[in-house]
């Protein structure tokens, strides 16, 4: 496994892969089984897998604690080497944003980014799309893989790639969960053992909404409001639970069939997100 610490080294290593298919997995490190599932899917689709590890300051709001984000580079490299990853790109902030964050060109995807997580985390998705666009340009992969746990992010990136005519296939991979249903996330490491026992209730409530809709219910507002109430009673601070169309993230209507339920809630100061796509009904 090769490691590139800057764009020059990245280009040198990529030159040796000329003509081979490349799958790319962008990450912020602190890797878990969810990230590794992306790597494995990448190898099922391409000859080489390239992974980036970069904690992107541009997607953190002033209220987020950037310095507290877990950084586990040596462990991450060991995990990726065990998976047979071809190349890992570990740029510095100065390498990706040499003139600083304030004057760096930004990529904005309108419409999809001012709802759900984007409503509270203003500017977050601009940071995501800017760094993903830059990484895709630097790596020039055939395929890039993203997890469905961050479904809004996935939809935003798909639109960015389509709108900008970027020659890369965006592949999604199902949310990886622990035995109790909790979506795997780097942020889970912030939770105490007591909170980890409570956290799976987030997904259980989404499954209950999906079951209700499959059974004929269409009062999305009422179903989602009940989720927030139940979560709050368990010790969460519910941020939102909403039914949205997967195509454009507009509020779901009774006749829609491409519906997902999105939820965000805070537990022990840690913000957890999850979603469930309701199969055709």
Kindly tell me if the per-residue pLDDT of 280 is higher than 80: no
In angstroms, the CA 7 to CA 243 distance is: 41
Instruction: Give the residue from 22, 16, 42 showing the smallest Cα distance to 167.
Output: 22
Q: Phi-psi bin for 249: left (phi > 0), alpha (psi -120 to 50), beta?
A: left
**Residue 30: half-sphere exposure toward Cβ, Cα within 13 Å:** 13
N- to C-terminal Cα separation, the chain: 46
> What domains are defined for the chain?
2-173 (3.40.50.620), 186-277 (3.30.1300.10)
Can you tell me whether residue 16 is helix, strand or coil?
Answer: coil
Which tokens belong to 78? Answer: 């060991």
Element containing residue 209 per DSSP (H, E): helix 201-214
In this predicted model, what pLDDT tens digit does every residue of 200-221 receive, in sequence order?
Answer: 999 999 999 999 999 999 999 9
Within its chain, how far is the Cα of 257 from the centroid? 24
In this predicted model, what pLDDT tens digit does every residue of 246-272 receive, in sequence order?
Answer: 999 999 999 999 999 999 999 999 999
Using pLDDT thresholds of 50, 70 and 90, give the confidence band for residue 61: confident
- pTM to 2 decimal places: 0.95
Within its chain, how far is the Cα of 197 from the centroid? 23
Can you tell me whether residue 171 is helix, strand or coil?
Answer: strand
Place of tokens 């970069």: 54
Task: Please list the active-site residues.
Answer: 35
Q: What integer pLDDT is reported at residue 64 of this predicted model?
A: 74
């Amino acid at each position: 496994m090769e490691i590139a610490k800057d764009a020059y080294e990245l280009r040198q290593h990529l030159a040796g892969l000329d003509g081979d298919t490349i799958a790319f997995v962008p990450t912020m490190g602190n890797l878990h089984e969810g990230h590794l599932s992306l790597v494995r899917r990448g190898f099922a689709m391409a000859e080489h897998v390239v992974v980036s590890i970069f904690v992107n300051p541009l997607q953190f709001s002033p209220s987020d604690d950037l310095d507290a984000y877990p950084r586990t580079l040596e462990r991450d490299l060991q995990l990726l080497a065990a998976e047979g990853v071809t190349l890992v790109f570990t740029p510095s902030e100065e390498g990706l944003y040499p003139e600083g964050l304030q004057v760096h060109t930004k990529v904005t995807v309108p419409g999809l980014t001012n709802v759900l997580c984007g409503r509270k985390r203003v500017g977050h998705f601009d940071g995501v799309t800017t760094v993903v666009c830059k990484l895709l340009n630097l790596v020039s992969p055939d395929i890039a893989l993203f997890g469905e746990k961050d479904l809004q992010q996935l939809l935003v990136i798909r639109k960015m790639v389509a709108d900008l005519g970027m020659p890369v296939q965006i592949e999604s991979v199902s949310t990886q969960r622990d035995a109790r249903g909790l979506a795997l996330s780097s942020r889970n490491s912030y939770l105490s053992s007591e909170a980890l026992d409570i956290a799976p209730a987030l997904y259980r409530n989404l499954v209950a909404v999906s079951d209700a809709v499959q059974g004929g219910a269409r009062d999305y507002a009422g179903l989602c409001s009940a989720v927030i109430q139940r979560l709050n009673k368990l010790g969460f601070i519910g941020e939102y639970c909403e039914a949205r169309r997967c195509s454009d993230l507009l509020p779901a209507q009774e006749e829609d069939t491409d519906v997902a339920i999105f939820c965000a809630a805070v537990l022990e100061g840690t913000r957890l997100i999850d979603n469930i796509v309701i199969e055709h009904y």
